[in-house]
Amino acid sequence: METNALPIMAALKKRLKWLNANQSVVSQNIANADTPGYRAKRIADQDFSSLVDDLTKTQSRMSATSTVALKTSDTRHMNVGGVSGGTPAIKEDDSVEETPDGNAVVLEEEMLKLADNQMQYGLAINLYRKNAGLLKSAIGQGNNG
């Protein structure tokens, strides 16, 4: 059984993918903190309600017996495994004031975003490990600890 077939695992993979993309954007902002004219970028927030809707659709798709193949012609479509096909939208952060050289990166704010991203990633990884452990226990391969 593929782990994407389980809604909780698909949701955790989607969350980890978003956190990875967010890490890249924040790291790029930090790397360009002294670059004249560089505007800070941010990634579109992940919407919890759409994640739940996607999981509901995945469950109903799993329970339906259909021979029709699903198409993912748009990046917003879901793949067969339940993980979104595209990457999150990246846009310029207009909430930050520019310095005289045109740079719009506040290093302190970016470091806070980086720390928050790290904590959220650790939480998602721990949830993924716990669910994988439950699956192993259910099939009789888990250890007793």
Largest CA distance in the chain: 63
| Per-residue pLDDT, 58 | 60
d(CA 19, CA 34): 25
Q: What is the mean pLDDT of each run of 10 residues along the chain (145 residues)?
A: 76 91 95 93 83 67 51 58 60 84 92 96 94 88 61
| Per-residue pLDDT, 81 | 45
CA distance to 51, 81, 84, 86, per residue, from 73 (Å): 19, 15, 12, 10
What's the whole-model pTM score? 0.70
CA nearest 19: which of 123, 127, 126? 123
d(CA 124, CA 74): 27
| Per-residue pLDDT, 7 | 84
| Per-residue pLDDT, 22 | 95
Neighbouring C-beta atoms of residue 54, cutoff 10 Å: 19
